Amino acid sequence: MERLLITGGCGFIGSNFVRYWLAQHPESRIVIYDKLTYAGRRENLLDLWDSANISLVVGDIGDQELVRKTCTDESINLIVNFAAETHVDQSILGPLVFTDTNVRGTHVLLEVARELGIRLHHISTDEVYGHIKDEHQSLETDELAPRSPYAASKAAADQLVQAYAVTYGIPVTITRGANNVGPYQYPEKAVPLFSTNAILGEVIPVYGDGLQMRDYAHVYDHCTGIEAVLLRGEIGAVYNVGTGREMTNLEMVDIVLDTLGQDHSLVRHVADRPGHDRRYSMNVDKLRSLGWEPKYDPRQAVAEAARWYAENRWWWEPIRNSEFREYYNRQYAERLAGTQTT
Ligand code: NAD
Ligand code: TYD
């Protein structure tokens, strides 16, 4: 029987993965290991906490003793590492915690995996490739060229995982995901921020010209991609996970506003993010070779996500009414002051 330690399982992608995995593999035992930062929320798994084969350990992945004890006590045979600080804008405001969790935390997991002989699957990101030129699609063999503190911390973690495979021969796999959208994404990220702002009739702060390009992939397809690698991936290998198709942020905003029936006059172009990556795009043929195909195209993914926020105010209203406000003001008050409608 698979006995999985899912780090960061109370976050956006981790909680979607836990729900997906349990539905597909009900015989598995899942131990969620999560620090419950602002982005980690028990309510993301509200429907599952009563299930006998899932439990939660609240802890930091940097706490080597607790990670080791949890893996030993629970006879864990697979660690899937979703735990991370994940928002580029937060990494610009306060970068050091990104190194603590994303680099040192991943390193601790590798040490425990090495000591106890556990397979580790690491969740990386397309941002490790840096922003890429028109036409090119990042391949798993491309050099890493991160440009934000977040991306640099993820690239360091990605390389540590690969170095452990080379040096110690431990069984690892890595997936590099595109921008995910879907249920339970904390509203600091663009699609849930824009959706919830639109629902509230608030303005939509688009950084710069809004012509940056992203592959907005549905989190469901990320979960099936990770599953394909866990079940059929080559040990030691890296796999890109996305749709292979990108759109501009302005196109994404149009889909959100049209889906929610809101007026396009809500759009405001605001001061750009420092070092804003212009374009991400990945080639996903290697994952396809495992028999995986995405179910959603990016337009459907964004529309589905926007609808989820319209239908699940219970989830995001308490977040937006609490500590999120302070972040929002810090990030946007000055940017929005004096902006004009497009
Ligand atoms: P998230 O911010 O929603 O969740 C992160 C989770 O990690 C939270 O539950 C948080 O409490 C937990 N966590 C943070 N620090 C921790 C620590 N020190 N110890 C234990 N738990 C800790 O993030 P997400 O969007 O679900 O991203 C999950 C993973 O996927 C991350 O590794 C991220 O880099 C990667 N990723 C995300 C995207 C995306 O679009 N969101 C795309 C590609 C890759
Ligand atoms: P985000 O969801 O933060 O993901 P990432 O920066 O990791 O790709 O942002 C997606 C895109 O939307 C990115 O190009 C930045 C842009 N963006 C805005 O224009 N305004 C915003 O308020 C936010 C949060 C993002």
Q: Which of 186, 188, 162, 154 is nearest to 12 (CA)?
A: 186
119-125 vs 78-81, strand pairing mode:
parallel
> Which residue lies with its CA nearest to atom 24 of ligand 2?
190
- Gap from CA of 339 to ligand 1 centroid (Å): 32
Which is the closest atom of ligand 1 to the Cα of 61? 19
Q: What is the pLDDT of residues 162-217, one digit of tens each?
A: 999 999 999 999 999 999 999 999 999 999 999 999 999 999 999 999 999 999 99
Quote the CATH superfamily of domain 3-181+217-241.
NAD(P)-binding Rossmann-like Domain (3.40.50.720)
Q: What is the pLDDT of residues 120-140, one digit of tens each?
A: 999 999 999 999 998 899 999
121 touches 172 (CB < 8 A):
yes
DSSP classification of residue 341: B
> Which residue lies with its CA nearest to atom 25 of ligand 2?
190
Q: Which ligand is nearest to the CA of 206?
A: 2
d(CA 321, CA 334): 20
Alpha helices in 8-126 (DSSP H): 12-24, 64-73, 88-93, 96-98, 106-116
Q: Which residues pair with 176 in a beta bridge?
A: 124, 240
Residue keyed to tokens 């996305």: 242
d(CA 58, CA 12): 16
Buried b (16+ CB within 10 A) or exposed e, 154-186: bbbbbebbbebbeeeebebbbbbbbbbbbbbbb
87 has pLDDT over 70: yes
Residue keyed to tokens 């899912």: 6
Residue 134's pLDDT is 86
54 has pLDDT over 90: yes
**Strands (DSSP E) along the chain, which ranges?**
3-7, 29-34, 54-58, 78-81, 119-125, 172-177, 180-181, 204-207, 213-214, 217-218, 238-241, 247-248, 267-270
Q: How far is CA 335 from the centre of its chain?
A: 26
Q: How far is CA 91 from the centre of its chain?
A: 14
Residue of 37, 158, 277 to mutate, ligand 1, most atoms within 8 A of C-beta: 37
Domain range list for the chain: 3-181+217-241, 190-214+246-279+299-336
65 has pLDDT over 70: yes
128 touches 144 (CB < 8 A):
yes
Position 135, amino acid: E
Q: Which ligand is nearest to the CA of 179?
A: 1
**Ligand 1 lined by 262 (C-beta under 6 Å):** no
CATH topology of domain 190-214+246-279+299-336: UDP-galactose 4-epimerase; domain 1 (3.90.25)
Look up the pTM and report it: 0.98
Torsion, CA 248, CA 215, CA 155, CA 332, rounded to 10: 40
